[in-house]
Structure 1
């Protein structure tokens, strides 16, 4: 397995609040922890904890998901009233660490590190300090209309070269169908495939940052997908719009290269297609190299504003590294657990209802996860995402090279980091 170097934040390590001498519930009696999380089923998880732990009660608030929740968390932290715990996506964790939002909880979670693979634990470990307990992961995978591939006699692609051949075969067999849509808004997808191809969009050595969004591997990825679009072999229309959903329901949108979480999303817009889908490993960029990147996933952090960090870390560890907690992640929240224990437990679960016939879904997911490497994210992912989507959107509309969007994103990211005070170089 390829493991990326741990992302360090030497430039900001001195500003990170370090926990010392803090206790949990202790002799002062019951404590109440404020917890921000958005997945469905979170309240059931909290209720079960509260019933079994009268001295550490958790109060849940749904602060919205993803970028919305992180923005609210940053605002609350600056005002000094952040919750004790919050669910944070891996992509936004570095910027929150730079902003001094999460607490270094190394001393409180060291006993659960072995519950996770090195690559998974690396996503919450920066400059040797741990800033969260991983909750769920999104190993990239290929979700496809199994019935249509079989009907058209098209093999499921195992490499991106074969993916192009399959896209050609789809158009020849059914001109109304297309193998997939990959719009400019799929920042995480392009970052993931660039990582799969050997790119590294952010890296750091000591206090020296490098940005590789326009490295050669990433530009090759840009060229590959640009050619697919130029040849009419993929769409670039937004996902999950009424038009897209109609194609999914009609069986004319034949796949979604995404991650193991995709089946639940597809079923939410096309429930009548259940039983027609399958999941396979993501096509390989380099034949024989099965390593893929994460697309999505989150961790529970303890904030520096918490008055009960030890108790908060105890809840985060219970939820994400114990059999009881992982059962709830699987059954109540329909998440793919980050821990190796949770992934092993998932193998005894029924497959997603979108593909009830795929009895090996979770064992396959575990195999994919074992070969998964984290994307190394930097401190200004939100800016990168915004610039990338704007620039790639322009390239798609104007018919200009997609690689120009990667270059423009790199230039904007480097300029922003330099202005912010980081020591940074291109590539």
Structure 2
């Protein structure tokens, strides 16, 4: 059981080198010994195409051998990495979803690689780089990003003379205009378990749900702008313009296929997902920038995205950082993320390469697709995630389900969520303020 003093030291890992927290190399190195003159590195990554990327790196880097393992994605991967770190047998590198990174940092599971990767900072847009940087220290290299965007049924919008909305007020007006013409159509479904979507849209509006100063966390989930966001979407729901059903269920997918679900405010990765479940709708969709809260401010946040971290116990952090830089920041690596993983690269070189690509199969007619995406990616505001996003997810989902069932305030969901998050941080003996 950690004492208050040790918990504060873990929190301070966000702003200081995690070398003070390292497990001794003899217990954490695992099978990363020299093999025939080569340094062998273990790399955990779930992204499709990761094995092919590793094969190409190994072919061109004779002094380093990377061994790839698919440890599963999402929360499963993060939980496995933390468990491996505590057991002293973590890999040398791991692909981490960005919302989980702060949890890895305060647990001492990932290394401060600021000095090892400083030369590739110029390869990223500021918003992308900021997702892995806390108080000026960098803990991972961004691999793929999910700048938020609006995927919408252009054929239906055109049919009713509705243009792609510039602002969220325009979005509501478009939904109302279409609903008036055909009551069976729904603009979107805002799933109650999609808490991080609400966090990202609140960040677009100007609120950080978490922020860090030194070793002190500030929780601002129940902020003024966040409450306005929740009130706005509750109004759309009460007017029957959006639903709150889970997305990508058989029922939801059927609505995509039959054309009664008209948009998905999500991120630039969405076309691939929709094409996977509704391929016969190809040619009917288009992608536009996410609607804005302020018509003069095009800034959007991120939904999704992952980064490669060097683990704190790696016996070969220099070679591990070399692999991370090649994979994520080099022209070759970024192009493989684009073409092999079919992800949107975080590195600017990969985003530039994307412009020459054909548009996604879902919208073959949108010749300016990647130019649109590149424009969206230039104006981004990162979401600062906290060390207990799991607590926020559970509290938010339960409270929003209750609010919908009981007809009570969606904005008050934020009050419940903030109290749960703050209580958990204090229980773990973090220094914390409420925003």
TM range (shorter): over 0.9
Counterpart among 329, 333, 339 of residue 341 in structure 2: 333
Could you tell which deviates more after superposition, 38-47 or 70-79?
38-47
Shift of 1:193: 1.0
CA contact (8 A) 1:139 1:260 kept: yes
Q: Secondary structure at the match of 1:362?
A: helix
Supply the distance in 2 between the matched residues of 1:12 and 1:318 (Cα, whole angstroms).
Answer: 25
Q: What are the within-5 Å matches in structure 2 for residues 138-177 of structure 1? A: 138-177=146-185
Supply the distance in 1 between the matched residues of 2:339 and 2:214 (Cα, whole angstroms).
Answer: 42
Could you tell which deviates more after superposition, 168-177 or 80-89?
168-177
Q: Secondary structure at the match of 2:189?
A: coil
**Aligned residue for 2:298?**
290
Structure 1 residues 46-81: Cα deviation after superposition (integer angstroms, max 9, x where no partner): 111122223211111111111110011000110000
Matched, 1:307 2:315: yes
CA contact (8 A) 2:33 2:40 kept: no
**Aligned residue for 2:193?**
185
Matched, 1:201 2:209: yes
Structure 1 residues 157-203: Cα deviation after superposition (integer angstroms, max 9, x where no partner): 11010111111112111111111110111112111110111111111
Could you tell which deviates more after superposition, 73-82 or 149-158?
149-158
Matched, 1:323 2:325: no
CA contact (8 A) 2:15 2:136 kept: no
Shift of 1:205: 2.6
Counterpart among 23, 43, 52 of residue 60 in structure 2: 52
Q: What are the within-5 Å matches in structure 2 for residues 127-276 of structure 1? A: 127-276=135-284
Supply the distance in 1 between the matched residues of 2:420 and 2:108 (Cα, whole angstroms).
Answer: 23
Q: Rate the CA distance shift 1:359–1:14 in 2: closer, same or farther, 3 A.
A: closer
Supply the distance in 2 between the matched residues of 1:129 and 1:167 (Cα, whole angstroms).
Answer: 43
Supply the distance in 2 between the matched residues of 1:186 and 1:264 (Cα, whole angstroms).
Answer: 19
CA contact (8 A) 1:383 1:413 kept: yes
CA contact (8 A) 1:392 1:405 kept: yes
Could you tell which deviates more after superposition, 165-174 or 204-213?
204-213
Supply the distance in 2 between the matched residues of 1:251 and 1:280 (Cα, whole angstroms).
Answer: 18
**Structure 2 stretches lacking a partner, 5+ long:** 1-9, 26-31
**Aligned residue for 2:418?**
410
CA contact (8 A) 1:25 1:308 kept: no
Q: Secondary structure at the match of 1:352?
A: coil
**Aligned residue for 2:382?**
374
Q: Secondary structure at the match of 2:307?
A: strand
Structure 1 residues 117-167: Cα deviation after superposition (integer angstroms, max 9, x where no partner): 222111111233221111011000000011111112222111010111111
Supply the distance in 2 between the matched residues of 1:27 and 1:392 (Cα, whole angstroms).
Answer: 54
Supply the distance in 1 between the matched residues of 2:66 and 2:177 (Cα, whole angstroms).
Answer: 54
Supply the distance in 1 between the matched residues of 2:299 and 2:96 (Cα, whole angstroms).
Answer: 25
**Aligned residue for 2:3?**
none
Matched, 1:425 2:427: no
Supply the distance in 1 between the matched residues of 2:383 and 2:111 (Cα, whole angstroms).
Answer: 22
**Aligned residue for 1:97?**
105
CA contact (8 A) 2:220 2:434 kept: yes
**Aligned residue for 2:83?**
75
Shift of 1:334: 0.6
**Aligned residue for 1:31?**
39
**Aligned residue for 1:16?**
18
Q: Rate the CA distance shift 1:309–1:11 in 2: closer, same or farther, 3 A.
A: closer
Q: Secondary structure at the match of 1:17?
A: helix
Supply the distance in 1 between the matched residues of 2:314 and 2:399 (Cα, whole angstroms).
Answer: 40
Shift of 1:9: 5.5
Supply the distance in 2 between the matched residues of 1:425 and 1:27 (Cα, whole angstroms).
Answer: 50
Q: Secondary structure at the match of 2:403?
A: helix
Matched, 1:346 2:354: yes
Supply the distance in 2 between the matched residues of 1:28 and 1:131 (Cα, whole angstroms).
Answer: 30
Structure 1 residues 237-272: Cα deviation after superposition (integer angstroms, max 9, x where no partner): 100011100000001100000000000010110011
**Aligned residue for 2:134?**
126
- TM-score w.r.t. length of structure 1: 0.94
Q: Secondary structure at the match of 1:91?
A: helix
Shift of 1:25: 9.6
